[in-house]
Structure 1
Amino acid sequence: MRVGSLRQLTLGSFILALVPLIALLWQSQSDLAKVSRMTTAETRFVVTAVGIMQQLEGAAIDLERTLRQYAIIQNTTVADLTDNAIAQFASARQDLCDIIDNSENCQQLVKQIEQLRNFRTINDQLLLNAYLASLSNGVIAMRKDVDASIQARLAIQREDMTSMQAKQAWSTAMLVSVSLLLILLGSQLIVKPVNKLKQIIQILAHQRGELPPLSTKAPFELIGVEKDLHWLSERLQQLEHIRTALLRHAAHELKTPLASIKEGCSLLSENVVGELNPQQAEVLSLLSSSTQRLNTLVEKLLDYNLLLQQAEPKFTSIDPAELVRDCVEDYALALQDREVTVDVRVESVSVDEELYRRILDNLVSNAVAHGAIGRPISVNIYEQDGVAVLDVANRGKKIPPEKVGKLFEPFTRGDDPRNDNVIGTGLGLSIVSDCARLMCGDVAVVEVDYADVCFRVSIPQKEKRK
Structure 2
Amino acid sequence: MVQLGSLRQLTLGSFVLALIPLIALLWQSQSDLAKVGQMTTLETRYVVDVVGDMQRLDGAVVDLERSIRQYAVIRTEKVATLSDNALDQFAVAADNLCQALSVQETCERLSEQLGDLSDYRLIEDQLLLNAYLANVARSVSQLRDDVELAISERVKVQQDDLNAMQAKQAWSTAMLVSVSLLLILLGSQLIVNPVNKLKQIIRIVAHQQGDLPPLSRQAPRELIDVEKDLHWLYDRLGQLEHIRTALLRHAAHELKTPLASIKEGCSLLSENVVGDLNDPQREVLSLLSASTQRLNTLIEKLLDYNLLLQQAQPDIVNTDAKKLVDACLGDYALALQEREVTVSVDCKHIWADEELFRRILDNLVSNAVAHGAVGRPINVHIYLDNNFAILDVANRGKRIAKESVATLFEPFTRGAEPRNDNVIGTGLGLSIVADCARLMHGDVQVVDVDYADVCFRVTIPQQEK
TM-score range, shorter chain: over 0.9
| SS in structure 2 of the partner of residue 409 of structure 1 | coil
Partner in structure 2 of residue 335 of structure 1 = 336
Percentage of pairs with the same residue: 70
| SS in structure 2 of the partner of residue 341 of structure 1 | coil
| SS in structure 1 of the partner of residue 344 of structure 2 | strand
Pair 1:345 & 2:344 matched:
yes
Opposite residue 154 of structure 1, the aligned amino acid is V
Offset at residue 129 of structure 1 (A):
1.4
Alpha-carbon distance in structure 1 between the residues aligned to 2:391 and 2:89: 113
Offset at residue 350 of structure 1 (A):
2.4
Map 1:18-57 → 2, pairs under 5 A = 18-57=19-58
| SS in structure 1 of the partner of residue 460 of structure 2 | strand
Alpha-carbon distance in structure 2 between the residues aligned to 1:261 and 1:442: 40
Deviates more, 1:87-96 or 1:374-383: 374-383
Alpha-carbon distance in structure 1 between the residues aligned to 2:57 and 2:100: 14
| SS in structure 1 of the partner of residue 128 of structure 2 | helix
Partner in structure 2 of residue 104 of structure 1 = 105
Partner in structure 2 of residue 203 of structure 1 = 204
| SS in structure 2 of the partner of residue 393 of structure 1 | strand
Map 1:132-143 → 2, pairs under 5 A = 132-143=133-144
Q: Can you list the C-alpha shifts for 1:268-327, whole angstroms capped at 9, x where unaligned?
A: 7889x6787797888777766654543332222122122123232233332222211211
Opposite residue 69 of structure 1, the aligned amino acid is Q
Offset at residue 114 of structure 1 (A):
1.3
Partner in structure 2 of residue 226 of structure 1 = 227
Alpha-carbon distance in structure 2 between the residues aligned to 1:91 and 1:118: 18
Map 1:168-183 → 2, pairs under 5 A = 168-183=169-184
| SS in structure 2 of the partner of residue 451 of structure 1 | coil
Q: Structure 1 residues 276, 329: closer, same or farther in 2, change over 3 A?
A: farther
Note if contact 1:103-1:145 (Cα within 8 Å) is conserved in structure 2.
no
Alpha-carbon distance in structure 2 between the residues aligned to 1:283 and 1:333: 28
Q: Structure 1 residues 327, 287: closer, same or farther in 2, change over 3 A?
A: farther
Alpha-carbon distance in structure 1 between the residues aligned to 2:217 and 2:138: 87
Offset at residue 95 of structure 1 (A):
0.6
Note if contact 1:341-1:376 (Cα within 8 Å) is conserved in structure 2.
yes
Offset at residue 91 of structure 1 (A):
0.4
Map 1:54-453 → 2, pairs under 5 A = 54-262=55-263, 290-336=291-337, 339-348=338-347, 349-453=350-454
Q: Can you list the C-alpha shifts for 1:309-355, whole angstroms capped at 9, x where unaligned?
A: 3232233332222211211221223334xx22321111223222111
Note if contact 2:245-2:309 (Cα within 8 Å) is conserved in structure 1.
no
Deviates more, 1:254-263 or 1:402-411: 254-263
Note if contact 2:11-2:187 (Cα within 8 Å) is conserved in structure 1.
yes
Note if contact 2:446-2:455 (Cα within 8 Å) is conserved in structure 1.
yes
Opposite residue 24 of structure 2, the aligned amino acid is A
Note if contact 2:268-2:274 (Cα within 8 Å) is conserved in structure 1.
no
Deviates more, 1:366-375 or 1:161-170: 366-375
| SS in structure 2 of the partner of residue 462 of structure 1 | coil
| SS in structure 1 of the partner of residue 343 of structure 2 | strand
Note if contact 2:381-2:393 (Cα within 8 Å) is conserved in structure 1.
yes
Partner in structure 2 of residue 17 of structure 1 = 18
| SS in structure 1 of the partner of residue 383 of structure 2 | strand
Offset at residue 451 of structure 1 (A):
2.0
TM-score by length of 2: 0.93
Alpha-carbon distance in structure 1 between the residues aligned to 2:275 and 2:174: 103
Note if contact 2:389-2:459 (Cα within 8 Å) is conserved in structure 1.
yes
Note if contact 1:320-1:347 (Cα within 8 Å) is conserved in structure 2.
no
Offset at residue 453 of structure 1 (A):
1.7
| SS in structure 1 of the partner of residue 394 of structure 2 | strand
Opposite residue 38 of structure 1, the aligned amino acid is M
Opposite residue 163 of structure 1, the aligned amino acid is A
What's the RMSD between the two structures over aligned residues? 2.3
Deviates more, 1:403-412 or 1:280-289: 280-289
Note if contact 1:244-1:305 (Cα within 8 Å) is conserved in structure 2.
yes
| SS in structure 1 of the partner of residue 259 of structure 2 | helix
Alpha-carbon distance in structure 1 between the residues aligned to 2:326 and 2:284: 34
Alpha-carbon distance in structure 2 between the residues aligned to 1:195 and 1:234: 20
Note if contact 2:61-2:137 (Cα within 8 Å) is conserved in structure 1.
yes
Alpha-carbon distance in structure 2 between the residues aligned to 1:303 and 1:139: 116
Note if contact 2:443-2:459 (Cα within 8 Å) is conserved in structure 1.
yes
Offset at residue 232 of structure 1 (A):
0.9
| SS in structure 1 of the partner of residue 65 of structure 2 | helix
Alpha-carbon distance in structure 2 between the residues aligned to 1:62 and 1:374: 132
Offset at residue 460 of structure 1 (A):
2.2
| SS in structure 1 of the partner of residue 212 of structure 2 | coil
Q: Can you list the C-alpha shifts for 1:55-107, whole angstroms capped at 9, x where unaligned?
A: 11111111111111112222211111111111001100111111112431111
Alpha-carbon distance in structure 1 between the residues aligned to 2:423 and 2:59: 128
Alpha-carbon distance in structure 2 between the residues aligned to 1:57 and 1:421: 127
Note if contact 2:57-2:90 (Cα within 8 Å) is conserved in structure 1.
yes
Q: Which runs of 5+ in 2 are unaligned?
A: none
Offset at residue 450 of structure 1 (A):
2.3
| SS in structure 2 of the partner of residue 456 of structure 1 | strand
TM-score by length of 1: 0.92
Alpha-carbon distance in structure 2 between the residues aligned to 1:125 and 1:373: 144
Note if contact 1:193-1:218 (Cα within 8 Å) is conserved in structure 2.
yes
Alpha-carbon distance in structure 2 between the residues aligned to 1:292 and 1:332: 20
| SS in structure 2 of the partner of residue 437 of structure 1 | helix
Q: Which runs of 5+ in 1 are unaligned?
A: none
Offset at residue 2 of structure 1 (A):
3.0
Alpha-carbon distance in structure 2 between the residues aligned to 1:134 and 1:113: 10
